[in-house]
């Protein structure tokens, strides 16, 4: 059964977004619980016509906890942006319903029928939105002396990556076609290897479920770079932040700040071996590093190896997304198989099907939301450390002919696609 929120007889089917918001407001609920006695005091004093100044400050502290937490701000803004057709009153009631739903299902005790509860929700709503002068509530009798909350809201808005509407083709098992057609339309398979229908049965691949496990109190996503020395056309050789490392920085920031995931970005230089650039030995080195990180952080459930491709000097892999020049990306899969001699036993991958299903879903999501963003999925013979976990991808962002900024821009829609696929959209 799909979960929704009941508001005055309306059932709002917000699916995973509701869950995401519920998780995001955890800090709100904890703060409400801590401040509950002060809030009750406010209500009692209100009946006597005497608002306690210290209690008002406590309520403002509650709001401050939200304002200071950028991930909560961005999560809530995205939710409101995706439901722009709702009235302000309905949005306010959704906020109250989300908080109430969490409280009722948690170990914390708070009387949501208390008159002061609606005032707390109103105060939270006014401060977090801060898009216009908020209505005066009976809690706000102490004049505020700072505009810092509004400043932080504006800063958070600047960090938002727009959530796209579906402008491309939504592929399902009914219109995707045969396995042969899918390979012809969406894949490049090198002469060194093969991909068979038994490797990736389409119905099973489309229905395979992927998600980020746990909550963001522990690491959930690992970003690393087997080839950390890869540069772009205008990279500064003395500044790692203008290399593929900087692209990983932007991907990390969007995934963590906008979507609320707990991300580890491993910036280890794996492709310098004995002082020399060695991109083949780099996979041996990165495998050791990644396995250690996963052992130390078993909560991680998605691993991303972020590269940039190498192409002919006259090839420029660029499109436009959100009004910005954006490098095109490519998902790469290794089959651990040579076409002539068969399986490569020392490169066995227990998660070959899952890897293939995940990149297929990512490709189809891109076709629906960013039709010109992705290149054909690339299939080669080797394993590329994709067997380290079930949800593992190697992603090529642009190439040496792209500018650094074009590649950084590509990290933004990539983060959106990752979030959509991980939430089952």
pLDDT in tens, the chain (425 residues): 444 444 444 444 445 555 555 555 555 655 555 555 555 555 555 544 444 554 455 455 545 555 555 555 566 666 666 556 667 777 777 666 655 654 554 444 556 666 666 666 777 677 666 544 433 444 443 344 344 555 555 555 566 899 999 999 999 999 999 999 999 999 999 999 999 999 999 999 999 999 999 888 899 999 999 999 999 999 998 899 999 999 999 999 999 999 999 999 999 999 988 888 888 899 999 999 999 999 999 999 999 999 999 999 999 999 999 999 999 999 999 999 999 999 999 999 999 999 999 999 999 999 999 999 999 999 999 999 999 999 999 999 999 999 999 999 999 999 999 999 999 87
Strand segments (E) across 178-246: 187-189, 221-224
Asked whether 256 and 228 are in contact (CB, 8 A), the reply is: no
> Do 142 and 194 reside in the same domain of the chain?
no
What's the gap between Cα 33 and its chain centre? Answer: 29
> Do 190 and 121 reside in the same domain of the chain?
no
> Do 101 and 190 reside in the same domain of the chain?
no
> Do 117 and 192 reside in the same domain of the chain?
no
Indicate left, alpha or beta for 342 from its phi (over 0: left) and psi (-120 to 50: alpha): left
Does 192 reside within a domain?
yes
**What span, in angstroms and rounded, lies between the C-alpha atoms of 291 and 395?**
19
> Do 241 and 363 reside in the same domain of the chain?
yes
Q: Domain span at residue 68?
A: 5-159
Does 52 reside within a domain?
yes
Sign of the C-alpha dihedral computed for residues 145, 148, 154 and 156 taken in this order: negative
**What span, in angstroms and rounded, lies between the C-alpha atoms of 62 and 37?**
13
Cα dist from 118 to 96, 122, 125, whole Å: 8, 6, 10
**What span, in angstroms and rounded, lies between the C-alpha atoms of 39 and 27?**
17
> Do 115 and 207 reside in the same domain of the chain?
no
Count structural domains, the chain: 2
Task: Please give the full DSSP string across 135-174, using - where no structure is assigned.
Answer: PP-TT--SPP---HHHHHHHHHHHHPPPPPP--S----TT
Does 215 reside within a domain?
yes
- Among residues 159, 191, 216, the one where a domain terminates is 159
Does 174 reside within a domain?
no
Does 331 reside within a domain?
yes
Task: Indicate the DSSP class of residue 346.
Answer: G
Rg (CA), the chain: 25
Please report, for the domain that includes residue 351, its CATH number: 3.40.630.40
Does 299 reside within a domain?
yes
Does 172 reside within a domain?
no
Task: Check residue 210 and give its pLDDT.
Answer: 97
**What span, in angstroms and rounded, lies between the C-alpha atoms of 364 and 206?**
10
> Do 130 and 208 reside in the same domain of the chain?
no
Report the greatest alpha carbon distance in the chain.
Answer: 87
> Do 153 and 190 reside in the same domain of the chain?
no
Global pTM reads: 0.70
> Do 268 and 331 reside in the same domain of the chain?
yes
CB atoms within 10 A of CB 360: 23
Does 173 reside within a domain?
no
> Do 139 and 235 reside in the same domain of the chain?
no
Asked whether 409 and 360 are in contact (CB, 8 A), the reply is: no
> Do 91 and 227 reside in the same domain of the chain?
no
> Do 226 and 98 reside in the same domain of the chain?
no
What are the two backbone dihedrals, phi and then psi, of residue 308, each rounded to the nearest 5 degrees? -125, 150
Number of helices (H), then strands (E), in the chain: 13, 15
Helix (H) or strand (E) holding 73: helix 70-81
What are the two backbone dihedrals, phi and then psi, of residue 91, each rounded to the nearest 5 degrees? -60, -40
- Bridge-partner residues for 335, per DSSP? none
CB atoms within 10 A of CB 223: 23
Task: Check residue 196 and give its pLDDT.
Answer: 97
| Buried/exposed code over 41-75 (b: 16+ C-beta within 10 A; e: otherwise) | bbbeebeeeebeeebbebbbebbbbbbebbbbbbb
- Bridge-partner residues for 15, per DSSP? none
């Amino acid at each position: 059964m799909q979960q929704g929120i009941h508001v005055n007889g309306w059932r709002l089917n917000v699916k995973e977004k509701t869950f995401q918001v519920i998780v995001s407001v955890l800090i709100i609920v904890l703060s409400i619980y801590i401040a509950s006695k002060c809030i009750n005091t406010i209500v009692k004093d209100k009946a006597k016509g005497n608002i306690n100044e210290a209690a008002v400050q406590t309520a403002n502290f509650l709001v401050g906890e939200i304002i200071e937490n950028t991930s909560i701000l961005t999560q809530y803004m995205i939710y409101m942006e995706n439901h722009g057709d709702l009235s302000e009153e309905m949005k306010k009631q959704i906020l109250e319903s989300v908080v109430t739903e969490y409280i009722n299902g948690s170990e914390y005790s708070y009387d949501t029928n208390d008159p002061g509860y609606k005032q707390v929700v109103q105060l939270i709503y006014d401060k977090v939105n801060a898009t216009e002068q908020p209505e005066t509530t009976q809690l706000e009798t102490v004049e505020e002396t700072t505009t810092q909350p509004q400043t932080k809201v504006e800063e958070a808005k600047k960090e938002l990556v727009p959530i796209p509407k579906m402008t491309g083709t939504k592929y399902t098992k009914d219109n995707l076609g045969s396995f042969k057609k899918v390979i012809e339309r969406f894949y490049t398979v090198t002469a060194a290897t093969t991909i068979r229908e038994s490797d990736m049965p389409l119905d099973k691949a489309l229905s395979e479920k992927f998600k980020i496990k746990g909550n963001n109190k522990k690491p959930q996503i690992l970003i690393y770079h087997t080839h950390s020395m890869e540069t772009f056309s205008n990279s500064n050789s003395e500044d790692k932040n203008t290399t593929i490392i900087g692209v990983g920085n932007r991907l990390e920031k969007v995934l963590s700040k906008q979507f609320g995931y707990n991300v580890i970005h491993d910036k280890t230089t794996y492709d310098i071996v004995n002082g020399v650039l060695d991109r083949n030995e780099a996979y041996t080195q990165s495998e050791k590093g990644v396995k250690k990180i996963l052992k130390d952080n078993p909560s991680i459930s998605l691993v991303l190896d972020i590269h940039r491709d190498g192409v002919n000097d006259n090839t420029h892999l660029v499109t436009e997304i959100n009004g910005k020049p954006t490098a095109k990306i490519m998902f790469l899969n290794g089959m651990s198989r040579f076409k002539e001699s068969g399986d490569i036993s020392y490169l066995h991958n227990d998660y070959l099907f899952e890897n293939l299903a995940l990149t297929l879903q990512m490709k189809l999501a891109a076709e629906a939301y960013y039709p010109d963003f992705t290149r054909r999925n690339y299939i080669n013979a080797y394993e590329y450390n994709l067997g380290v976990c079930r949800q593992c991808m190697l992603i090529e962002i642009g190439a040496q002919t792209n500018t650094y900024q074009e590649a950084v821009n590509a990290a933004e829609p990539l983060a959106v696609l990752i979030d959509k696929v991980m939430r089952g959209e």
